[in-house]
Amino acid sequence: MEEKSLIISLIAALSVIVFLVLLVVFSSMGKKSVVIKKHTKNAPTKNKKLTIEDMLDIAANKNSTKNDLTNAIIKVSKEFIFPSKIKGKMPKGIKLYLNFVLLTASHKKADAKLIAFMSSELKKANKDYSTEIDIYENEGLRQRMHRN
């Protein structure tokens, strides 16, 4: 009789231990580990080829600094020459480039010196679009004045 009660108590103890181990295993599987990745749009990786969309992201980001905007303007003027006009008409993709002008001119951290720098650099690189650059720059300045 004593042996039966000892076996039953050992089985009960093993059952409790197995239950606790399973509980710990399943609860740890249910937890999601949080991985924090540092990702900044203003500091792209060196291997990644930048696009005009990346420059638009910098200009549209409210947290971009004046230095970020200046670097974006330099990159756009040197590496992202506007597409040529076709028989005097603007091609479809030109809106992205002109939106960069608008976003930069309307950015809260862009001052008159930066906007003048952008205008002169882009006009030097894209002589065919000097009128359009002026129009989008003025629209950006107008939006900036109405926002304040």
pLDDT, tens digit, for every residue of 70-114? 999 999 999 998 999 888 888 988 999 999 999 999 999 999 999
| Higher per-residue confidence, 26 vs 121 | 121
Single-letter residue type at 62: K
pLDDT at residue number 116: 95
Per the document, the length of the chain is 148
pTM: 0.66
Residue 28 lies in a domain: no
pLDDT at residue 1 tops 90: no
| Structural domain span for residue 131 | 52-147
User: Is the separation of the CB atoms in 110 and 104 below 8 Å?
Assistant: yes
Residue 14 lies in a domain: no
Residue 108 lies in a domain: yes
Residue 101 lies in a domain: yes
Into how many domains does the chain fold? Answer: 1
Report helix, strand or coil for 86.
strand
**Across 8-19, average pLDDT:** 87
Point out which residues pair with 89 in neighbouring strands: 86
Residue 102 lies in a domain: yes
Residue 133 to residue 131: CA distance in whole angstroms: 5
Q: Note the helical H segments in 1-148.
A: 2-30, 52-60, 66-79, 94-106, 112-125, 130-147
pLDDT tens for each residue of 20-60: 887 777 777 665 544 444 445 544 545 578 899 999 999 99
pLDDT at residue number 92: 87
Residue 124 lies in a domain: yes
The vertex-89 CA angle with 86 and 94, nearest 5°, equals: 90
Residue 10 to residue 21: CA distance in whole angstroms: 16
pLDDT at residue number 70: 95
